[in-house]
Structure 1
Amino acid sequence: MNRTSRRLAAALLCLGLITACGSESGDEGSSDSQGQEQQGGQQEQDGQEEEQSDLGQDIPSSLAGPAGAEASQATSAVLHTSEGDITVTLFPEEAPLTVTNFAGLADGSLPWEGQQDGEPLYQDLIFHRVIDGFMIQGGDPQGTGMGGPGYQFDDEVDSGRTFDEPYLLAMANAGLNPDGSGTNGSQFFITVVPTEHLNGKHTIFGEVADEESRAVVDAIATTETAAQDRPVKDIVIESVTIGD
């Protein structure tokens, strides 16, 4: 190879390295932060648990969540759904932050991202995830499992209450953040069987109060579902009324 050929080969090699480095840098810079998928626990089947997303989430600092609100002492609520009413007993002494959050999102007194004119978050939402023999999940303003109120707050799992019975009302979450803080938002679930593998992972803040309400929960839990456990026919949480 003569001197001219060697110079040409070297130039082409350098150009190839620069192009490759530029492509790699561009790929890294194009990644976006996405929301976390919140799950009402992970269903245990043959010792295996459902996979859940571990993607990051950007939380607006302007929303304080329940920690910045006056504590609610509400002890009951009624979920008005397209399948009938579900009356629940709330546990404000055992889960004060969570009950304050639930009550505030139900009546609109707790600010949330996208709120207009004090509207409640729990209004015309769907049960977006339903698993027969496990639980029903709702409370997502997006209806996808990826939405929330625009803030997060910690678990309250030290009350001693466990998932040793069905018809418990609990918070869905996406595990813990890297700093150990909780990922609770607006999504909640109601169990239809004992789910003790969820102990210590999800805040229990209420229970279904009566047989008529349990029948409504059972009817929702056995509805036909499609991909990602979403009901074929929308089951709507029309509103939530908070009692004393």
Structure 2
Amino acid sequence: MEENNSTKSTEKTSSELTEDSILEESTKSDEIESISETKEEVKKEDSEEVSEAKEEKKLDLPKGTYARIKTNMGEIVCKLFKDEVPNTVANFIELATGEKEYTDPKTKEQTKGKFYDGIIFHRVIPGFMIQTGDPLGVGVGGPGYKFEDEFHPDLKHSKPGILSMANSGPNTNGSQFFITHEATPHLNNRHSVFGEVVDGMDVVNEIGDVDRDRRDKPTEDVVMESVEIFEV
């Protein structure tokens, strides 16, 4: 998937108390307090169950390095192939966490920050892939530098959910990447595979099905709100 280098591409009740009503209101108050305590207990139990469920989900993941991509349409969890393509994964992680310096495309100044937060998916093609990582949101932006391709014989565009670097030719990787909907073998040895979706493929497919314009850009913004890196 090439970077697009052209224009195409959220009662209170008040009551009067009398001597006769004080006991009644006091009883009601006790009942309300009891109900409130019960609700708090239920809420606490529910919260604990949710936390346990999340923990169980984490424990289900094999040991490795992961990225949780939070979008305004849901979450996508990806395993990163840190051992196989260390340079590509390091670039992605350091941009996501704010460790890596990049050139702000608007001010042209060197800066640091969580690069991917707030970036949109600027290109979506059903049955093919969804693409993001351009701070300009049009397909030509990046971090102000380029790095070499990194291929591994075991990493291919062999199925849905493959994370791979977008580029404009050999050794022109930056920040843009895409996630496949289907196997795309024609992209092998042209784009650097660096991860795969392990949870949230339904979100990937939903993003691919949004309305888009003639340049394959969603008519309503699909936003990558944050990218969280975690280890299991």
Taking structure 2 as the reference length, the TM-score comes to: 0.70
Q: Secondary structure at the match of 2:95?
A: helix
Confirm or deny that 1:237 pairs with 2:227: no
What is the deviation of 1:41?
4.5
1:111-130 CA deviation, whole Å, 9 max, x = no partner? 01027863211010100000
Aligned position for 2:98: 108
Aligned equivalent of 2:193: 204
1:167 aligns with 2:157: no
In the TM superposition, residue 110 of structure 1 has moved relative to its aligned partner by: 0.5
Q: What is the SS of the residue equivalent to 1:227? A: coil
Q: Distance in 2 between matches of 1:214 and 1:136?
A: 12
Aligned pair 1:217/2:211, yes or no?
no
The answer on 1:131 being equivalent to 2:125 is yes
Match for 1:90: what amino acid?
L
Q: Which residue of 2 aligns with 1:191?
A: 180
Equivalent residue pairs, number: 171
**Cα distance, 1:241–1:116 mapped onto 2, change above 3 Å:** farther
Question: Pairwise mapping of residues 22-171 of structure 1 onto structure 2 (< 5 A)?
Answer: 40-41=1-2, 53=5, 75-114=65-104, 118-171=112-165
The 3-state SS of whatever aligns with 2:130 is strand
The aligned amino acid for 2:129 is M
Cα distance between partner residues in 2 of 1:116 and 1:164: 37
Determine the C-alpha separation between the residues in 2 that align with 1:133 and 1:194: 9
**Distance (whole Å) between structure 1 residues aligned to residue 92 and residue 111 of structure 2:** 18
Question: Which contiguous aligned blocks of 4+ residues in structure 1 show a shift greater than 4 angstroms?
Answer: none
Per-residue CA deviation, residues 188-217 of structure 1 (Å, 9 max, x unaligned), is: 00000000010110011000012xx00000
* TM-score (structure 1 length as normaliser): 0.66
Query: Counterpart of 1:108 in structure 2: which amino acid?
Result: G
Structure 1 stretches lacking a partner, 5+ long: 1-39, 43-51, 55-73, 177-181
RMSD: 2.0
**Identical pairs, percent:** 46
* Paired amino acid for 2:222: I
| Counterpart amino acid of residue 184 in structure 2 | T
Task: Determine helix, strand or coil for the equivalent of 1:229.
Answer: coil
Structure 1 residues 63-99: Cα deviation after superposition (integer angstroms, max 9, x where no partner): xxxxxxxxxxx71010010000100000011111110
Contact 1:41–1:198 (CA under 8 A) maintained in structure 2: no
Query: 2:76 aligns to what SS in structure 1?
Result: strand
Partner AA of 1:169 in structure 2:
L
SS at match of 1:243: strand
Instruction: Classify the secondary structure of the residue corresponding to 1:128.
Output: strand
